[in-house]
C-alpha cells in the first residue's frame, strides 16, 4: 500500500503524523503547511498560509489539535488542525527556526535554529499557553541546530547541530546535562529519543546513523552504514524496535535496532532527496517528504512483523482516539489503550490473523506498567469517576495539574472504549464459530467484568491508591497469560493458570 500526495510547489522539508494516525502534516519551501489524509490520496482542507519564508519544520501536539510550524521568517506559528486557521499569537524569535517539537504534555515547544554570536545558542523553549519564551537561549552549541526532540517523559531535550555534536538538556533547569556527544564527522541533521528513553538516535551528513546511551553519552554499537549520501532524517518506531531513515540518496531505509541491520530493500519511490521521515502511531506506515515536492505514505511492516517485536514496548503515551470502521482497519492497532479490556476494541471481524490482537495486548501491558511505575499516583479525589471503566480516572483531566499526561490519555481512551464495546462484541459474536474469535470474545468479556469490579472496588475502598496497584497488577498477569493463549491456541490450562485463562481455553473444546 502506498499513497502519494502532490500539492506542494517546492521542496517538502518536514512531515509528521497526527496522534490518531489519520492525517499527515507537511511543511515546505513554498511557505505553506498542508494536511493530508493518511488513508487516501486527498488533501485535508486548504494550505495553511501565513509564513513569509520557507517552512522548515512541523510538529503535531500530542494532546490536542494544534500544529506548530517553524520558518525562516523567524516565527513559530500554531495552527488549529480542525479549522485550518492560525491559533493565537505568533511566537517571534531573534533568529530563524530549523526545528520545532512539542513536549509530551503539549505545554512547551522546543526549537532549534540559527546560531548567532555573541548569544552563542540556537536552542530555546517556548510556552504554548502564553506564546512567550519559556527560557533564554540555551548555550552550548557552536553552530546551527538542525534538530530538537523531547524525551518521552518531557524532562530532557536532545539537540543536534552542524558543529557535529549532540547535547542533552534538562528542561526544568534549562541547562545542558550531557555532552557534547562526539562521533559524527559532519553536521548532525536529526536526533530523537527511543520510546523507552534508553537510547538517542542521530544521523548526519557523514552518511551514518548512530545510537547513544543518554545516561553516559557513549555510543551504542557501531554506526549504521548503508546510505550513500547525507542522512537527513531518522526516527524510532513507536515500540523502539525499528528505525526509519531518509537520505539525500533518494532512499528510505528501515533498520532493526536489535541487530543493526536493514530490514528490507530501500524504498525508492522519491525522485529527489528525502528530507523527512515519520512513523505512524501504529508503526506499520512511514510518511516521507522530499525535494521532489511529494509526500508519500507507504506500508513498511505488516502485522506479523510488527507484532513479533514484543521485546521492546512503548513508553510514550499520548492521547490517541480510535479509527472509525471506514478507515484502514490494518492500522487500527495504533491505539494502545490503558484499560484492561482495551485490546478487544480494535479487533475487526474481517481480521485474518490471530496476531492482529497481539499488539493490543502488548500495548495494554506496557501502559499498565507505565502507570504503575509512575511517580505520580492518582489522588483520592481523582480516582472515582462515574461511567469510566478500569482506572476510574476523571474525564477532563487537563484541569488537574497533579496528574501526568499519560493518565489524561487513559481517561480519554476509557470513554472511547466504553462507547465502542457493544458494537464490537456484536461483530465478534457473528463470527463466533471460529476458534480464534471465540476465546478472544470470552476473554474480553471477562476482562470487562474485571474492569467494572475494579471500578466498584475503588469507589468503596478507603485506600484507592493501594487497590489501584494491587488490582492492576493482577489484571496485568491475566493479560500476559492471554497473550500466551494467542501464541498457543491448542494449549490446555494447567492448575497454575488463573480462572480467566481456564474459561478462555474451555471455549475451544
Closest CA to 113 of 150, 138, 77, 78: 138
Mean pLDDT of the chain: 72
- What is 2-305's CATH superfamily? YVTN repeat-like/Quinoprotein amine dehydrogenase (2.130.10.10)
Q: Which residues contact 479 (CB under 8 A, 6 or more apart)?
A: 340, 343, 361, 364, 365, 368, 447
Spatial contact of 301 and 289, defined as CB atoms under 8 Å apart: no
Tell whether the model's pLDDT for residue 442 goes beyond 60: no
Render pLDDT for 343-374 as a digit per residue (tens, 0 to 9): 333 333 333 333 444 444 444 444 444 444 44
Query: pLDDT by residue (tens digit) across 447-489?
Result: 555 555 544 544 454 444 444 455 555 555 554 454 444 444 3
In this prediction, residue 428 has a pLDDT band, given cuts at 50, 70 and 90, of very low
pLDDT digits (tens, 9 = 90+) for 181-203: 999 999 999 999 999 999 999 99
Our measurement of the distance from residue 398's CA atom to the centroid of its chain's CA atoms, rounded to an integer in Å, reads 20
Which among 204, 184, 201 has a CA at the least distance from the CA of 193? Answer: 201
Closest to 385 in 3D by CA, of 358, 418, 356, 355: 418
- Residue with the bigger pLDDT between 355 and 307: it is 307
Cell numbers describing residue 239: 515500540
Residues of the chain with pLDDT > 70, as a percent, come to 58
pLDDT in tens, 50-99: 999 999 999 999 988 999 999 999 999 999 999 999 998 999 988 899 99
Residue 38: its pLDDT value, please?
93
pLDDT for 179 = 87
Please tell me the predicted confidence (pLDDT) of residue 322.
29
pLDDT, position 487 = 41
What's the confidence (pLDDT) of residue 136? 87
Spatial distance between the Cα atoms of 42 and 429, rounded to a whole number of angstroms: 35
Task: Give me the residue spans of the domains in the chain.
Answer: 2-305, 310-506
- 149 burial type by CB count under 10 A (0-12 exposed, 13-18 middle, 19+ buried): buried
The rounded percent of the chain whose pLDDT value lies above 90 is 51
H/E element, 291: none
End-to-end CA distance of the chain: 39
Residue 218, Ramachandran bin (φ over 0: left; ψ between -120 and 50: alpha; else beta): beta
C-alpha to C-alpha distance for 433 and 87, rounded to whole angstroms: 52
Contacts 24+ apart (CB under 8 A), 499-504: 500/443, 500/446, 500/447, 500/450, 503/442, 503/443, 503/446, 504/439, 504/442, 504/443, 504/446
pLDDT band for position 3 (cuts 50, 70, 90)? very high
pLDDT band with cut points at 50, 70 and 90 for residue 43: very high
Q: pLDDT digits over 213-261, tens only?
A: 999 999 999 999 999 999 999 999 999 999 999 999 999 999 999 999 9
Given pLDDT bands bounded at 50, 70 and 90, which one contains residue 301?
confident
What is the bridge-based pairing of β-strands 231-236 and 242-247? antiparallel
Going by C-alpha positions, the residue among 344, 487, 361 that lies closest to residue 422 is 344
**Residue 48 pLDDT > 90:** yes
Q: What is the pLDDT of residue 237?
A: 95
Cell output for 1: 500500500
**CB of 111 closer than 8 Å to CB of 97:** yes
Distance CA 221, CA 71 (A): 35
Nearest to 279 by CA among 319, 239, 230, 316: 239
Within its chain, how far is the Cα of 191 from the centroid? Answer: 15
Spatial neighbors of 354 by CB under 8 A, at least 6 apart, are 436, 486, 489
Whole-number pLDDT of residue 478: 53
* Angle, helix 464-487 to helix 437-460, in steps of 10 degrees: 170
Q: What is the pLDDT of residues 116-170, one digit of tens each?
A: 655 556 899 999 999 999 988 898 998 899 999 999 999 999 999 999 999 999 9
Amino acid at each position: 500500500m502506498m499513497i502519494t500526495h502532490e500539492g506542494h510547489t517546492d521542496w517538502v522539508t518536514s512531515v509528521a503524523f497526527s496522534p490518531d494516525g489519520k492525517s499527515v502534516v507537511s511543511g515546505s519551501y513554498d511557505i505553506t503547511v498542508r494536511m493530508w489524509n493518511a488513508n487516501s490520496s486527498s488533501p485535508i482542507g486548504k494550505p495553511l498560509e501565513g509564513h513569509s519564508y520557507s517552512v522548515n519544520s512541523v510538529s503535531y501536539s500530542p494532546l490536542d489539535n494544534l500544529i506548530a510550524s517553524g520558518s525562516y521568517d523567524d516565527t513559530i506559528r500554531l495552527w488549529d488542525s480542525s479549522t485550518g486557521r492560525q491559533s493565537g499569537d505568533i511566537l517571534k524569535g531573534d533568529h530563524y527556526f530549523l526545528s520545532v517539537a512539542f513536549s509530551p504534555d503539549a505545554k512547551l515547544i522546543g526549537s532549534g535554529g540559527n546560531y548567532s554570536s555573541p548569544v552563542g545558542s540556537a536552542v530555546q523553549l517556548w510556552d504554548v499557553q502564553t506564546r512567550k519564551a519559556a527560557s533564554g537561549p540555551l548555550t552550548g552549541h557552536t553552530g546551527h541546530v538542525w534538530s530538537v526532540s523531547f524525551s518521552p517523559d518531557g524532562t530532557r531535550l536532545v539537540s543536534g547541530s552542524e558543529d557535529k555534536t549532540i547535547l542533552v538538556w534538562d528542561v526544568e533547569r534549562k541547562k545542558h546535562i550531557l555532552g557534547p556527544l562526539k562521533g559524527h564527522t559532519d553536521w548532525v541533521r536529526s536526533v530523537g529519543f527511543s520510546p523507552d528513553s534508553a537510547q538517542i538516535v542521530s544521523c548526519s551528513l557523514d552518511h551514518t546513523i548512530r545510537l547513544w546511551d543518554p545516561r553516559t553519552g557513549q555510543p551504542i554499537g557501531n554506526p549504521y552504514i548503508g546510505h550513500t549520501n547525507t542522512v537527513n532524517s531518522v526516527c524510532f518506531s513507536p515500540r523502539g524496535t525499528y528505525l526509519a531513515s531518509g537520505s539525500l540518496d533518494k532512499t528510505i531505509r528501515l533498520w532493526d535496532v536489535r541487530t543493526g541491520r536493514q530490514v528490507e530493500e530501500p524504498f525508492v519511490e522519491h525522485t529527489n532527496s528525502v528530507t523527512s521521515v515519520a512513523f505512524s502511531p501504529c508503526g506499520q506506515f512511514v510518511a516521507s517528504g522530499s525535494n521532489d515536492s511529494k509526500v508519500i505514505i507507504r506500508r513498511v511492516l505488516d502485522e506479523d512483523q510488527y507484532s513479533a517485536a514484543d521485546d521492546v514496548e512503548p513508553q510514550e503515551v499520548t492521547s490517541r482516539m480510535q479509527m472509525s470502521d471506514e478507515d484502514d482497519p490494518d492500522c487500527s492497532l495504533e491505539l494502545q489503550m490503558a484499560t484492561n479490556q482495551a485490546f478487544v476494541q480494535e479487533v475487526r471481524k474481517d481480521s485474518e490473523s490471530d496476531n492482529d490482537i497481539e499488539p493490543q495486548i502488548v500495548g495494554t501491558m506496557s501502559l499498565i506498567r507505565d502507570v504503575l511505575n509512575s511517580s505520580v499516583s492518582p489522588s483520592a479525589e481523582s480516582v472515582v469517576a462515574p461511567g469510566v471503566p478500569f482506572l476510574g480516572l476523571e474525564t477532563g483531566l487537563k484541569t488537574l495539574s497533579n496528574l501526568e499526561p499519560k493518565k489524561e490519555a487513559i481517561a480519554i481512551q476509557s470513554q472511547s472504549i466504553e462507547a465502542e464495546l457493544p458494537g464490537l462484541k456484536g461483530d465478534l459474536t457473528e463470527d463466533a464459530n471460529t476458534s480464534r474469535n471465540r476465546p478472544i470474545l470470552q476473554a474480553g468479556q471477562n476482562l470487562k467484568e474485571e474492569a467494572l469490579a475494579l471500578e466498584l472496588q475503588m469507589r468503596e475502598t478507603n485506600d484507592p491508591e493501594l487497590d489501584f496497584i494491587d488490582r492492576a497488577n493482577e489484571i496485568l498477569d491475566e493479560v500476559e497469560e492471554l497473550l500466551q493463549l494467542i501464541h498457543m491456541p491448542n494449549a490446555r490450562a494447567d492448575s497454575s493458570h488463573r480462572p480467566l485463562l481456564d474459561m478462555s481455553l474451555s471455549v475451544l473444546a
